[in-house]
């Protein structure tokens, strides 16, 4: 994928649970795409961010995640994530985002914690 | 009718004594000779008190002026009095028709007098204003020249010594001032650094400043101890110092090879040293120069470690007031110096802090002067940097454009593969480089395509450095508040503002330096074996 490009896909894995699959770079340029994806998933009470195909995330991208988190909290939604590399896990810990977005290694771990089997 | 008028120049004398009043000739053939009326002549007093026309034929007054006027053929006097002052006089000879003056003539002249007097007064005041304006203009011009001459007495450039950075700021409250600073290379390779403040402001202070600077330089030719230099300068200055004037002065002698700085202080503000452990005051006892003869000056010394900064300043900084009459103060200065990394960027940082504190309407109360001395953490001067032989792994420019940090990050990562850099730390390096480059492109070069950023990757035996230079010049990095997720979620802090926080968390060390045109951030990563990797 070309650097700076991002594609997002939203899929529902159970009632009121959606996964946003992130492919590419989460930077300041991802603002509208991320907002659109969140809006598509906004009927869910639990939104899971799939970072398995994340290539690069910078401080502006972290800022967007914080904005997303603020919206989710206002809507009473839960935000979870999986697939982060060790480096980005470190960054989530440094920024304490891991305290607001529960992290899992892989998708099945998240689904297991939610007591649902993969569709 | 012949008319005589009073010369204006008699009316603009600066002498407060009453001007004598004298008629002048006009170019008319019928004008009679001028007659001067001295202030001590009784006629002068009569003119001040009389109302209307004075007929000299019927006047009974023992007066030289009256006799001279009669001899000159003057028949009538019409004093021009305005606000109790004799501003002029109309002197009339006989009518050309040889007829007597009629009562209508006298009434006309009587009515004319107050109007003529008022007009003369206005002309007089306008002339005085012109003269005063010319005098002020000449004084202003002289002051401007004095200011230019005074600036030539200050160093034209700061010293350039490998491993050190020097910077200075001088802003007099008036066109000329009493503050000064100086850098004087000594014969043994050391450098004398002086900052001083003459009591008072303006021209008297500037003259004393000029002689003090000369005396200090002369003393430094033979002496190399700061205490001795001040002692000698005090003894030379004291006999000729004008009453109620003296000079506070801080004199330091720096050995650039060792970082040892000896200093003595003649009643000046103690300088501040910023070290890795905090800010300390460099105090030494001594009386101001020129107050008393035979003074001695306590001498002390400090060592400037790499990255240490010594800040010298005049009281115009700490004693500046804001619109509420609160003072800038020492505490604020110490805090600001503790927050900043030093170097010449500290000058702009403190100047901005001062202007922010005082506000745009500030009328500068006193001269403001700073001198900054910083020891660099350069490979050649840094004992921590191993053998000092560094290799440039890559050096390139990159256009400033949104998203441009991504390519720079990847290129730096490729360059680093040439050294023994733990793969686990590559991602940290990439994030630090990307964030630094993004800052440089956005805030330094404002994403202008014609302003590329410069990147240099170099390594020695102990550490890897990535230098990122933008063309933002000597502008301090904005000190965003430390990001706090809870505050951000509560909406009391912006969701953004993570960049500098991330950079600091990713690197082992971070240095910022600036020139008037460039701004460079150095990211330092200790290499395996030299330091416990993060």
Tell me the chain A residues in contact with residue B405 when contact means C-beta distances shorter than 8 Å.
58
Strand pairing report for A46-57 and A78-82 = parallel
Yes or no: domain B383-526 corresponds to CATH 3.40.1160.10: no
User: What confidence score (pLDDT) does residue B388 get?
Assistant: 53
Chain-chain contact of B498 with A63 (C-beta, under 8 angstroms): yes
Range(s) of the domain holding residue A93: 6-110
B430/A23 Cα distance (integer angstroms): 19
CA nearest B458: which of B501, B401, B368, B520? B520
- Asked if B180 and B247 count as a contact pair (C-beta separation under 8 A), the reply is no
Token representation of residue A79: 């935000």
CA distance A109 to A48: 12
Q: Domains in chain A: how many in total?
A: 1
| CB atoms closer than 10 angstroms to residue A69 | 19
Residue B42: pLDDT band with limits 50, 70, 90: very high
Per the CB < 8 Å rule, is B496 touching A59? yes
pLDDT at residue number B265: 97
Q: How high is the pLDDT of residue B133?
A: 92
Q: What span, in angstroms and rounded, lies between the C-alpha atoms of B343 and B379?
A: 17
Nearest Cβ partner of B406 from A3, A66, A67? A3
**For residue B499, pLDDT beyond 70:** yes
Element (DSSP H or E) covering residue B368: strand B368-375
Q: Which residue among B403, B489, B505 places its CB closest to the CB of A73?
A: B489
Bridge-based pairing of strands B278-282 and B271-275 is antiparallel
**Closest-approach residue (CA) in chain A for B484:** A95
What is the reported pLDDT for B174?
Answer: 77
| A29 has a chain B CB within 8 A of its CB | yes
Asked if B387 and B461 count as a contact pair (C-beta separation under 8 A), the reply is: yes
- For the segment B494-517, the average pLDDT, to the nearest whole number, is 82
Asked if B489's CB is within 8 angstroms of A70's CB, the reply is yes
What three-state secondary structure class fits A105?
coil
At residue B3, does pLDDT exceed 50? no
Q: Give the whole-angstrom CA distance, residue B253 versus residue B265.
A: 12
Question: Is a pLDDT exceeding 70 seen at residue B520?
Answer: yes
Range list of H helices, B420-522: 423-439, 485-490, 499-506
pLDDT confidence tier of residue A88, bands split at 50, 70 and 90: very high
What is the tens place of the pLDDT at every residue in B425-458?
Answer: 899 999 999 999 999 998 889 888 888 999 999 9
pLDDT for residue B527: 80
From B506, B443, B435, B501, select the one nearest B470 (Cα to Cα): B443
Residues of A in contact with B489 (CB under 8 A): 66, 69-70, 73, 100
Of B113-127, B378-392, B463-477, the poorest mean pLDDT is in: B378-392
Contact: A94, B407; criterion CB under 8 Å:
no
* B492-509: average pLDDT: 85
Instruction: Write out chain B residues lying below 8 Å of A91, CB-based.
Output: 431, 502
Mutation pick from B485, B500, B534 vs chain A, by most beta carbons of A within 10 Å, is B485
Q: Which residues are within 8 A (CB) of B269 and not within 5 positions of it... i.e. 6 or more apart?
A: B248, B250, B312, B313, B314, B315, B318
- Given the candidates 3.30.428.10, 3.40.50.150, 3.40.50.2000, 3.30.450.40, the CATH classification of the domain at B3-127 is 3.30.450.40
Chain A residue with minimal CA distance to B491? A70
% of chain A surpassing 90 pLDDT? 62
Q: Per residue in B196-227, pLDDT tens?
A: 999 877 788 888 888 999 999 999 888 779 99
Among B431, B499, B501, B505, the strongest candidate for a mutation testing the A interface, having the largest count of A CBs within 10 A, is B431
Asked whether residue A117 is domain-assigned, the answer is no
B155 has pLDDT over 70 = yes
Region B244-252: what's the mean pLDDT? 93
| CB spacing of A63 vs B495 below 8 angstroms | yes
Give residue A50's pLDDT: 96
User: Which among B8-17, B43-52, B477-486 has the top mean pLDDT?
Assistant: B43-52
Whether chain B has a CB inside 8 Å of the CB on A93: the answer is no
Q: Give the whole-angstrom CA distance, residue B321 versus residue B315.
A: 12
Is residue B457 within 8 A of residue B415, CB to CB? The reply is: yes
CB atoms within 10 A of CB B420: 11
A1 in contact with B, Cβ within 8 Å: no
Nearest to B247 by CA among B260, B239, B256, B238: B238
Q: Is the separation of the CB atoms in B511 and B341 below 8 Å?
A: yes
pLDDT at residue A119 tops 70: no
pLDDT for residue B504 is more than 50: yes
Q: What is the mean pLDDT of residues B133-151?
A: 83
User: Is pLDDT at B256 greater than 50 in this prediction?
Assistant: yes
Instruction: Kindly state the percentage of chain B with pLDDT values over 70.
Output: 88
A66 touches chain B (CB under 8 A): yes
Residue B301: band (very low, low, confident or very high) from pLDDT cuts 50, 70, 90 = very high
Calculate mean pLDDT across residues B456-481. 78
Task: Name the CATH superfamily housing domain B154-375.
Answer: PPM-type phosphatase domain (3.60.40.10)
The answer to whether residue A92 sits within a structural domain is yes
Mean pLDDT on B454-469: 88
Task: Give the distance from residue B500's alpha carbon to the nearest chain A alpha carbon, in angstroms.
Answer: 9
Please tell me the distance in Å from B520's CA to the nearest CA on chain A. 20
Query: Which range among B145-159, B177-191, B388-402, B506-520 has the greatest average pLDDT?
Result: B177-191
Contact A66 B495 (CB under 8 A): yes
- Chain B residues closer than 8 Å to A95 by CB: 483, 485, 498, 501
What's A66's domain CATH number?
A: 3.30.750.24
What ranges in B59-201 are assigned the alpha helix state H?
64-71, 103-153
Distances (CA, A) of B110 to B89, B122, B182, B188: 12, 20, 72, 88
Tokens of B340: 């900043």
Q: Over the stretch B65-101, which tens digit does the pLDDT of each residue have? A: 999 999 888 899 999 998 888 888 888 888 888 788 8
With CA atoms as reference, the chain A residue closest to B488 would be A66
Gap between the Cα atoms of A101 and A81, Å rounded: 7
CB pairs under 8 A between A and B: 69
Does the beta-carbon distance from A87 to B405 stay under 8 Å? no
Choose from A28, A51, A59 for mutation: most chain B CBs within 10 A.
Answer: A59
Contact between B396 and B455 (Cβ < 8 Å): yes
Selection from B157, B173, B167, B163 nearest residue B347 by Cα: B167
CB contacts of B499 in chain A (<8 Å) are 59
Number of residues assigned to chain A: 119
Chain-wide mean pLDDT for chain B? Answer: 83
Question: Domain for residue A119, yes or no?
Answer: no
Q: Residue A69: list chain B partners with CB under 8 A.
A: 489
> Which of B427, B488, B496 is nearest residue A60 as measured by Cβ atoms?
B496
Q: Is A98 on the interface with B (CB under 8 A)?
A: no
The CA-atom distances, in angstroms, between B457 and each of B462, B469, B504, B534 are: 14, 12, 18, 20
Query: Are the Cβ atoms of B489 and A62 closer than 8 angstroms?
Result: no
A64 touches chain B (CB under 8 A): yes
pLDDT for residue B272? 92
Please state the domain extents for chain B: 3-127, 154-375, 383-526
What is the predicted ipTM? 0.91
The Cα-based distances of B483 to B422, B434, B499, B509, B534 in angstroms read 29, 19, 10, 20, 21
> What does the pLDDT read at residue A91?
93
- B499 and A67 in contact by Cβ < 8 A? no
Within 8 A of B505 by CB-CB distance, chain A residues are 94
Whether residue B530 has pLDDT greater than 80 = no
The more confident residue out of B97 and A58 is: A58
Tell me, yes or no, if A67 comes closer than 8 A to chain B by beta carbon. Answer: yes
Which residues of chain A make contact with B483, given a CB cutoff of 8 A? Answer: 95
Continuous segment of H or E residues that includes residue B222: helix B202-222
d(CA B88, CA B82): 9
Share of chain B above pLDDT 90, in %: 33
Binary contact (A70, B402; C-beta < 8 A): no
């Amino acid at each position: 994928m070309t650097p700076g490009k991002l594609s997002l896909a939203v899929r529902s894995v159970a009632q009121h649970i959606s996964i946003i699959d992130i492919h590419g770079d989460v930077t300041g340029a991802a603002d509208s795409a991320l907002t659109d994806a969140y809006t598509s998933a906004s009927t869910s009470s639990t939104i899971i961010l799939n970072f398995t195909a994340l290539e690069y995330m910078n401080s502006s991208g972290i800022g967007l995640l914080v904005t997303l988190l603020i919206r989710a909290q206002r809507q009473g939604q839960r935000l979870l994530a999986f697939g982060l590399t060790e480096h980005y896990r470190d960054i989530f810990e440094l920024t304490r985002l891991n305290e607001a977005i529960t992290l899992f290694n892989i998708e099945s771990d998240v689904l297991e914690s939610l007591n649902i089997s993969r569709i | 009718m012949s008319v005589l008028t009073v010369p204006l120049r008699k009316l603009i004398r600066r002498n407060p004594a009453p001007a004598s009043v004298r008629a002048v000739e006009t170019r008319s053939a019928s004008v009679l000779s001028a007659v001067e009326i001295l202030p001590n002549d009784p006629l002068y007093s009569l003119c001040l008190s009389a109302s209307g026309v004075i007929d000299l034929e019927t006047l009974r007054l023992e007066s030289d002026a009256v006799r001279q006027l009669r001899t000159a053929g003057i028949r009538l006097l019409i004093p021009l009095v305005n606000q109790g002052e004799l501003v002029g006089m109309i002197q009339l000879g006989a009518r050309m028709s040889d007829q007597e003056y009629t009562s209508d003539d006298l009434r006309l002249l009587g009515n004319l007098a107050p109007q003529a007097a008022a007009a003369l007064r206005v002309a007089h005041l306008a002339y005085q204003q012109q003269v005063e304006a010319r005098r002020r203009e000449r004084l202003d011009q002289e002051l401007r020249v004095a200011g230019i001459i005074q600036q030539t007495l200050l160093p034209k450039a700061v010293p350039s010594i490998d491993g050190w950075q020097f910077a200075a700021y001088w802003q007099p409250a008036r066109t000329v001032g009493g503050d000064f600073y100086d850098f004087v290379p000594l014969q043994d390779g050391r450098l004398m650094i002086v900052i001083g403040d003459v009591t008072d402001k303006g021209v008297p202070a500037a003259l004393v400043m000029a002689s003090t600077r000369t005396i200090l330089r002369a003393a430094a030719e033979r002496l190399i101890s700061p205490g001795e230099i001040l002692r000698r300068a005090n003894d030379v200055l004291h006999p000729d110092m004008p009453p109620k004037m003296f000079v506070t002065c801080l004199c330091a002698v720096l050995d650039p090879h060792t970082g040892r700085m000896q200093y003595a202080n003649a009643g000046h503000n103690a300088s501040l040293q910023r070290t890795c452990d905090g800010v300390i005051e460099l105090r030494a006892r001594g009386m101001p120069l020129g107050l008393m003869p035979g003074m001695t000056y306590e001498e002390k010394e400090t060592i400037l470690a790499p990255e240490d900064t010594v800040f010298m300043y005049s009281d115009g900084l700490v004693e500046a007031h804001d619109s509420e009459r609160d003072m800038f103060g020492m505490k604020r200065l110490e805090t600001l110096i503790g927050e900043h990394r030093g170097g010449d960027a500290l000058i702009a940082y403190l100047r901005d802090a001062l202007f922010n504190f005082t506000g745009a309407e500030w009328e500068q109360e006193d001269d403001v002067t700073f001198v900054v001395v910083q020891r660099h953490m350069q490979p050649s001067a840094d004992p921590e940097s191993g053998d000092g032989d560094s290799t440039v792994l890559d050096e390139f420019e990159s256009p400033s454009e949104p998203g441009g940090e991504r390519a720079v990050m990847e290129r730096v990562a490729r360059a680093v593969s040439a050294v023994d850099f733990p793969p686990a730390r590559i991602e940290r390096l990439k994030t630090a480089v990307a964030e630094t480059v993004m800052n440089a492109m956005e805030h330094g070069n404002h994403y202008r395509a014609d302003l590329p950023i410069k990147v240099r990757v170099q390594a020695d035996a102990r550490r890897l450095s990535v230098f990122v230079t933008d063309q933002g010049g000597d502008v301090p990095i904005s000190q965003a508040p430390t990001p706090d997720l809870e505050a951000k979620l509560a909406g009391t802090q912006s969701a953004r503002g993570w960049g500098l926080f991330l950079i600091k968390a990713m690197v082992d060390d971070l240095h910022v330096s600036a020139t008037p045109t460039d701004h460079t951030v150095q990211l330092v990563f200790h290499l395996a074996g030299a330091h416990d990797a993060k």
